[in-house]
């Protein structure tokens, strides 16, 4: 399996970039994102065989199609070590932790079916653990083979940071430098990250919004001299290995919700940075029978606007709302470039031009209207994408309705997903809503909606009272680079 950048790097037929070469990095040298030169296909016979596999075995089968340069015995060991009931032990009382991503049927009526796929049973109670735990083990494996070190530099709007830090804490040869928007995460999210005292974990609270943090990660990644000198890698959703790890649970969700391969399902995904649903897009391109991929946004509705109009219009920091589903408070979707590459039939020069226009003009227009940059909006239905938007009052009502009708407490982002999913239900096609976090992570809003605190898994009862260790910095690239250089040269 060979890879190329969405902007053309390694696109020639004689160039060879493999999985292990892009595992530790983020952006390609030309500023694009890596994708396989061809998506591997999954046959119906394979789907039949995969129905009886454990999650760890399924992860191996999917990953071996992408990581062909890692010995299969090593890859099987890594997936078996990652996806265990002990790691994903925070399942609800009525669910088996060994299922890893159990399904919970909300309702089935008039030929329509709504299902929640639980993805938040890992150590930080968020779906990010599904990929990050694998990344931690892959990174340690790759570094050990070369006796190398890696300084992970990432940005988080809430859940990526804690998932990365819990996956990398104590790992040999790895440091984590994580940017987050100062005072714009929930108290639980903040405590999860900042209370870690491990010496290889560094938290930086940036006086801005998530997009400021993300822009700094991209700026550092594009400084190839600095990146190489200080051994900088990334765990943000631009990291290809992380996206591949997320592909697995789409296959698990489909196989668990169906009995034969003639059936189709749809997925609704709360979306900010487009990484989670990008994995669903890849699964669909591999042949998974997905009818629709429903993009659910909050008030920061950049993606919803695009999938309704064909216009991608990035918001400035001052126009980005701080909401009660803060992990989606993103106005520049990093992984979106991967989908645009496929939408444009792999035209790397057009992709490069469009995303350069994002930087200079704040967006692009594929609506086909006068003065637009293209008319590819008419092709979006071919990829199964539709979208919708949920706001604070919707979240509160959805949390209340789900609690009253089904006795289940959901978090704010999953509430966004359910609200939008209800608008796109189809007869005889189950709708799977991807759960993004346990409600305890957003207790302020749960209390507002239900008048009580969310239940907490054992070990998280008093996390907000723990001592916290972090630095506050302005969103200045030179300042953060100097600070990283100082820490890595100790």
For 489, residues 6+ apart whose C-beta sits below 8 A from its C-beta are none
In degrees, rounded to 5, the angle at the alpha carbon of residue 348 between the alpha carbons of residues 346 and 351 is 100
Tell me if residue 367 falls in helix, strand or coil: coil
**Number of Cβ atoms within 10 Å of the Cβ of 91:** 19
CA dihedral 339, 342, 343, 345 (to 10 degrees): 160
Of the residues 81, 89, 128, 184, only one is catalytic, namely 128
Q: How far is CA 259 from its chain centroid?
A: 28
Whole-angstrom distance, CA of residue 280 vs CA of residue 275: 9
- The full DSSP string for 127-184 is THHHHHHHHHHHHHHHHHHHT--EEEEEE-SSHHHHHHHHHHTT-TTEEEEEEEETT-
d(CA 473, CA 470): 10
Task: Answer whether 5's CB lies under 8 Å from 240's CB.
Answer: no
Alpha-carbon distance of 367 to 362, in angstroms, equals: 16
Provide the 10 A C-beta neighbour count for residue 96: 10
Q: Give the pairing type, strands 290-297 and 265-270.
A: parallel
CA-wise closest residue to 303 among 269, 274, 329: 274
Strand ranges inside 126-173, DSSP E: 150-155
User: How far apart are alpha carbons 178 and 154 in whole angstroms?
Assistant: 5
Q: Beta partners for 433?
A: 116, 268
Which tokens hold the place of 370? 């006068």
Q: Looking at the DSSP assignment, which residues form a beta bridge with residue 122?
A: none
Instruction: Tell me the CB-side half-sphere exposure of residue 381, using CA atoms within 13 A.
Output: 2
89 in catalytic set: no
d(CA 31, CA 227) in angstroms, rounded, equals 13
The catalytic residue positions are 128
């Amino acid at each position: 399996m060979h890879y190329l950048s969405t902007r053309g790097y390694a696109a020639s037929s004689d160039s060879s970039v493999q999985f292990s070469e892009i595992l530790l990095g983020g952006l390609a040298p030309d500023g694009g994102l890596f994708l396989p030169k061809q998506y591997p296909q999954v046959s119906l016979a394979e789907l039949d065989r995969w129905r009886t596999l454990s999650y760890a075995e399924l992860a191996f089968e999917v990953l071996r199609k992408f990581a062909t340069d890692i010995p299969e015995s090593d890859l099987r060991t890594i997936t078996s070590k990652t996806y265990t009931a002990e790691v994903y032990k925070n399942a609800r009382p009525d669910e088996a932790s060994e299922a890893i991503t159990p399904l919970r049927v909300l309702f089935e009526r008039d030929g329509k079916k709504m299902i929640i796929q639980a993805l938040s049973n890992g150590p930080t109670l968020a779906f990010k653990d599904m990929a990050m735990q694998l990344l931690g083990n892959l990174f340690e494996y790759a570094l050990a083979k070369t006796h190398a070190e890696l300084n992970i530099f990432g940005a988080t709007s809430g859940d990526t940071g804690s998932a990365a830090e819990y996956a990398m804490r104590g790992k040999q040869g790895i440091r984590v430098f994580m940017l987050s928007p100062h005072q714009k995460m929930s108290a639980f999210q903040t405590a999860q990250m900042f209370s870690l005292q491990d010496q290889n974990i560094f938290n930086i609270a940036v006086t801005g919004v998530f997009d400021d943090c993300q822009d700094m990660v991209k700026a550092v990644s594009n400084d190839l001299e600095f990146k190489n000198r200080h051994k900088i890698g990334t765990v943000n959703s631009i990291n290809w290995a992380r996206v591949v790890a997320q592909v697995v649970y789409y296959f698990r969700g489909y196989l668990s919700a169906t009995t034969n391969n003639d059936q189709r399902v749809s997925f609704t995904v709360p979306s900010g940075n487009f990484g989670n649903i990008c994995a669903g897009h890849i699964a669909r391109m591999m042949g998974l029978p997905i009818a629709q991929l429903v993009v659910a946004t909050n008030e920061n509705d950049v993606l919803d606007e695009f999938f309704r109009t064909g216009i991608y219009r990035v918001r400035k920091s001052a126009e980005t709302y701080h909401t009660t589903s803060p992990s989606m408070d993103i106005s520049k979707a990093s992984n979106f470039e991967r989908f645009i590459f496929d939408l444009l039939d792999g035209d790397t020069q057009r992709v490069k031009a469009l995303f350069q226009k994002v930087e200079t003009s704040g967006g692009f227009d594929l609506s086909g209207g006068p003065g637009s940059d293209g008319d590819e909006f008419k092709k979006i239905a071919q990829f199964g994408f539709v979208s919708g938007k949920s706001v604070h009052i919707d979240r509160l009502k959805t949390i209340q309705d789900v609690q009253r009708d089904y006795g289940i407490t959901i978090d704010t982002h999953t509430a966004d997903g359910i609200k939008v999913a209800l608008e796109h239900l189809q007869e005889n096609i189950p709708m799977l809503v991807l759960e993004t976090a346990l409600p305890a992570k957003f207790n302020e809003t749960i209390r507002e909606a239900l008048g009580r605190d969310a239940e907490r898994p054992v070990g998280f009862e008093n996390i907000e009272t723990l001592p916290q260790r972090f630095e506050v910095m302005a969103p200045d690239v030179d300042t953060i680079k100097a600070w990283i250089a100082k820490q890595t040269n100790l």
